[in-house]
A = this chain, B = another copy of it.
Amino acid sequence: MTTATPKPAEDRQEDSSSPEPSDTVSAETRPRRRSPAKRNAAVTRQRILEVAMAEFAEHGFSGGRIDRISAAADVNVSMIYHYFSNKDDLYLAALEASYKIIRDREKTLDVADANPRQALKALVELTFDFLSTDSYFVRLIMNENLMMGRMVQQSATIPHMTRPLLDSLRTILKSGQKANVFRKNIDAENLYVSILGLCFIHVSNRYTLSSMFQHDFSEPEWLAKRRLVVVDVVTSYVANVKAK
């Protein structure tokens, strides 16, 4: 699985062709360009955004530093303001971009035709992997909640992005119920909250849990076991069963 960590835009080709071209003679008459040869607004904006996601995830909103972002993104501080107006807006953009990543990933799920049990399992595993692999998204969301949703409340896109997810889940549930493998009366929203809770807790509470149980909750082996349990919990819940 690919990680969700902010990374440079794939389609960037820093000085791929221009510096030191074939014509070696003219190279001297032409002025020497400094490293980020071809600056481009969209690329720069994206670079700032990705760095900001990491910065705010690591230090929170008040702890996040514009200076650090500008240094890491290798741009002048003013560019941040040029593209994002102010710290609040930059933070919100980072938050929205993070949500977009997971929501986009969810769209890759094949919800319609598959075996519904398999589809649900895929959704759970995708969520688990996304949150566990890199904690930046989890930290960003924890931060936002500690701020009592000050910024998320101003976002129109975040509720909007949730729609398809809920739709997918409902489709899966309906198809499973039609096939008689899922029980009736499952609230899709509540189910999603359960999935999220099961996939979130060991990341969000990694340090306190590690301390409580005296072992590292980010160890791959432990995560692998946990992943099985989470899928088991969810599928047990939705399964159409009889008590023995």
> Are B236 and A244 in contact, CB atoms less than 8 angstroms apart?
no
Q: Count residues of A near B (Cβ-Cβ below 8 Å).
A: 63
Given contacts A158-B212, A230-B194, contact A145 B205 (CB under 8 A): yes
- Bound state CA distance, A221 and B198, in angstroms? 22
Known: A158-B212, A200-B197, A211-B155. A59 touches B62 (CB 8 A): yes
In the complex formed, the residue of B with least CB distance to A148 is B207
**A89-119 CB contacts (< 8 Å) to partner B:** none
Residues of B within 8 A of A190 (CB): 225-226, 229
Minimum distance in angstroms from A132 CB to a CB of chain B:
12
A74 CB to nearest chain B CB (Å):
19
By beta carbon, the residue of chain B nearest A241 is: B241
**CB pairs A–B below 8 angstroms (7 shown):** A144-B208, A152-B211, A162-B212, A180-B244, A194-B233, A239-B243, A241-B244
Interface residues of A (CB under 8 A from B): 59-63, 139, 141-149, 152-153, 155, 158-159, 161-162, 166, 180-181, 187, 189-190, 193-194, 196-202, 204-214, 225-226, 229-230, 232-234, 236-237, 239-244
